[in-house]
Amino acid sequence: MSPTTATAATAARVRVFAMMDADGDRGITRHDYLSHIDRTVLATGRTEDDPLVVTARAEGVKAWGAKDANSDGKLTFDEYNASVGADTFDNVCRFALGALFDLADTDGDGALDKAEYTMLRTALNNSPSNAAAAFDALDADGDGVVGRDAYLASIRAYIVGDSSPMGEALY
């Protein structure tokens, strides 16, 4: 990773960490981390027995376990930063984030329209205006929807320090 890419990745991770630190105590607890699933479930109106909710919860727990390497129930920024990267994204986070995308995909078509996307990103602690701007940045072809693969690729690009207009608009 070049120094410029490393700096961009660290800056992106600082922003994502702050978003996930729901109570602002400079640490991400297991509750902070998993509460984004609760907020997404609530926003979508899905029930706990919905297979998509069950999957999202299971993937979230797996992702938390991969990040909380010392199993103390809390991540400092240094722990978070060490646990995030292309390999972790590809093997862990992609599944957790994809499960949340699937929750928000209310019609099951594999894409989110602007309302679904904004609902999801707002449930994940982004402001509605930033979420709307991020949708516009990601909907490059202007068809009014964002596909799952493009969404996940943009998040991956952001956390590894590559260009991500969606990530830049969200944070």
φ, ψ at 103 (rounded to 5°): -60, -45
> Using one digit for the tens of pLDDT, what is the confidence trace for 26-73?
899 999 899 999 999 999 999 999 999 999 999 999 999 999 989 999
Long-range contacts of 88-93 (CB under 8 A, 24+ apart): 89/155, 89/156, 89/159, 89/160, 90/156, 92/62, 92/63, 92/66, 93/63, 93/155
Q: Is the pLDDT of residue 2 over 80?
A: no
Q: Which residues contact 26 (CB under 8 A, 6 or more apart)?
A: 76, 77
**Domain 3-170 -> CATH class:** mainly alpha
Within 6-159, strands assigned E span 28-29, 74-75, 111-113, 145-147
d(C-alpha 171, C-alpha 110), whole Å: 25
Q: Which residues pair with 28 in a beta bridge?
A: 75
Residue spans of the domains in the chain: they are 3-170
Asked if 35 and 23 touch (Cβ cutoff 8 Å), the reply is no
Give the single-character DSSP code of 81.
H
The pLDDT of 2-25, averaged and rounded, is 79
> From residue 22, how far is each of 42, 49, 69, 70, 149 by CA, in Å?
16, 26, 20, 21, 27
Enter the pTM of the model. Answer: 0.91
Higher-confidence residue of 163 and 38: namely 38
The pLDDT of 127-132, averaged and rounded, is 93
